[in-house]
Structure 1
Amino acid sequence: MSSTTKPTIVLVHGAWHGSWCWRFQIPALEALGYAVEAVDLPCVSGVAGTTQFDDAAHNHRHLWVNASSSLAHSYAGPIASAAIKGLSEKGVLGMVALCAYMFPGGMDQGAVIRDIGDLPYVTWNMPSEGLFQTKDPRSLFFPPDVPAERVDWAVSQLRPQSMAANMGIVPPQAWQDDSYIGRLGYIRCTADVVIPIEQQDGMVLGAGGQENWVVRTLEGSGHSPFLSRPHEVAVALDEIVNAFETKV
């Protein structure tokens, strides 16, 4: 890849969201010279039984493009990490997690959720069997920095999620092998309600720490900086991608 060519950024949304959530992020990335593609994962298609493996396979197909990289939000951390596995030699540069979960391949998420006594902020089998929703997305996803009019718009777009996607097995993860050492990024959000900063840091540490991850921080940002601070997200991603390119 030449020094003047930027990778295509494949945007991977979190649970209950869709490609719509990147509405303000896309122009901020394009302004920095990136081509952008936003995917819609099968987990929010309204089909019960859809798993992380289905989502990762869908994302994998979109990454089959030379010189591409992922920006993955929340639930999509393990999805994007699974999707890039085996694609380093195909030109995939790496992945950037945006206040995202990082779980080891083979982990049984359903068992973990049962062990911690369920997720109090969701309603299972709603609006139908095998799907689930958040009880109060306004106070979960958007504080403290998303403007009220954008919150109203985003809440109206949220869709039920497949329970199997969150209660199943995590696919094999690219960060657990050597292919992408130095080409993994994490954007921390210090005011996140969904994944508190201590948990974000713990997951990065558990996935190899700052020896393996290029880390940037959005001070005071909540769980949805693509709605509140898209320019800052774009700048952080650009810095991380530039660091990746020194490792190719």
Structure 2
Amino acid sequence: MTTILFVPGAWIARAFYEPFLQALMVAGYNVRYAAYPSLNPSDPSTTDCHTDTEGIAVVLRSFVEEDGQDVMLFLHSYAGMPGAAAATGLSKSQRAQEGKVGGVIGLLFLGAFIVPEGSSCAGLQGGNLPPWILLDRPSANLNVADDPINNFAADVDLAQAQSLVANLKPHATLPFTSPQPHPAWADEAFRGHLAFIVTTEDRAVPREAQFGMIAATQKPWIVKELASSHCAPFLNRIEETVEMTRQIVVKFL
């Protein structure tokens, strides 16, 4: 059975994703979740993209190296940065060459950031974060997302979108401005094992930006398009998102 390790976007607590994670389990996957330290940290000055990468890698390595599982990483939004870095050196093909079982069968990005090594989320956007990221709130080195329903879920019924608002927390700012560690998507071992679900109505990470990041890698990607906002795949488009995920897992295998 394939394990799907889900890594969340910035600001969003696990409870928001639970209906989607449950749907993946019903579809027959072993579903796991990897949090990272920059979500609502007690000291935001100590968490950057590297520490988030290490937090995810500890979880990922436990499934791959200790349990020998086949794992697909599902990366939403900011998770594309530390999640991709956490998979470095853990591809199934690399491990098979070393006589080891298990490994990462592929990376699935959804409305996610693909950032070259040494650059940053802010650097990818000309050095500045978008204005809807409200800096130094509720305190220094933290930030919150302004008008989350409009930016993340404008196409979702207001009552249903409240589950998103209820599960938002402050996020450290340093992960958005610190360098991207080496991402696994840049490695030949993951050639043919990269996929992206483009959220075409996304106001947070616009469609053009998603396709631009994909093209900039100069790698072949499995690309699917979902006519949705940034968070609708986990609210009112769960069935479609699960089906796209299933199709991608099949191609990776």
- TM-score between both structures, scaled by the size of structure 2: 0.88
Q: Percent identity?
A: 30
- Does the C-alpha gap of structure 1 residues 118 and 190 become closer, same or farther in structure 2, counting only changes over 3 Å? closer
Runs of 4+ in structure 1 displaced over 2 angstroms?
108-113, 115-119
Give the match's secondary structure for 2:203.
coil
Equivalent in the alignment of 2:50: 53
> Residues 115 and 124 of structure 2 are in contact (CA less than 8 Å); yes or no, is this contact kept in structure 1?
no
Give the match's secondary structure for 1:33.
coil
Give the match's secondary structure for 1:166.
helix
Q: Work out whether 1:177 is the aligned partner of 2:174.
A: no
> Residues 12 and 19 of structure 1 are in contact (CA less than 8 Å); yes or no, is this contact kept in structure 2?
no
Cα distance in 2 between the residues matched to 1:56 and 1:237: 23
Q: CA deviation at 1:147?
A: 2.6
Q: CA deviation at 1:116?
A: 5.3
Which of 123, 133, 136 is the matching residue for 1:125?
136
> Which residues of 2 match residues 28-39 of structure 1 at below 5 A?
28-39=23-34
Q: Work out whether 1:227 is the aligned partner of 2:235.
A: yes
Cα distance in 2 between the residues matched to 1:26 and 1:138: 21
Structure 2 residue runs of 5 or longer lacking an equivalent are 64-68, 96-101
Aligned length, in residue pairs: 235
Query: 1:91 is aligned with what amino acid?
Result: G
Deviations 1:52-110 (A, max 9, x none): 11111111111121201111101111121101101112511111001111010111444
Which of 136, 156, 168 is the matching residue for 2:166?
156
Which of 156, 166, 169 is the matching residue for 2:176?
166
Structure 1 residue runs of 5 or longer lacking an equivalent are 1-5
Cα distance in 1 between the residues matched to 2:52 and 2:250: 27
- TM-score between both structures, scaled by the size of structure 1: 0.89
Give the match's secondary structure for 2:130.
coil
> Which residues of 2 match residues 81-120 of structure 1 at below 5 A?
81-88=84-91, 89=95, 90-112=102-124, 115=126, 117-120=128-131
- Does the C-alpha gap of structure 1 residues 96 and 118 become closer, same or farther in structure 2, counting only changes over 3 Å? closer
Equivalent in the alignment of 1:240: 248
Give the match's secondary structure for 2:196.
strand
Q: CA deviation at 1:118?
A: 4.4
> Residues 135 and 143 of structure 2 are in contact (CA less than 8 Å); yes or no, is this contact kept in structure 1?
yes
Q: Work out whether 1:10 is the aligned partner of 2:22.
A: no
Deviations 1:106-146 (A, max 9, x none): 11444455x455421122111111101112112111111x2
Give the match's secondary structure for 2:119.
coil
- Does the C-alpha gap of structure 1 residues 77 and 34 become closer, same or farther in structure 2, counting only changes over 3 Å? same
Cα distance in 2 between the residues matched to 1:215 and 1:122: 28
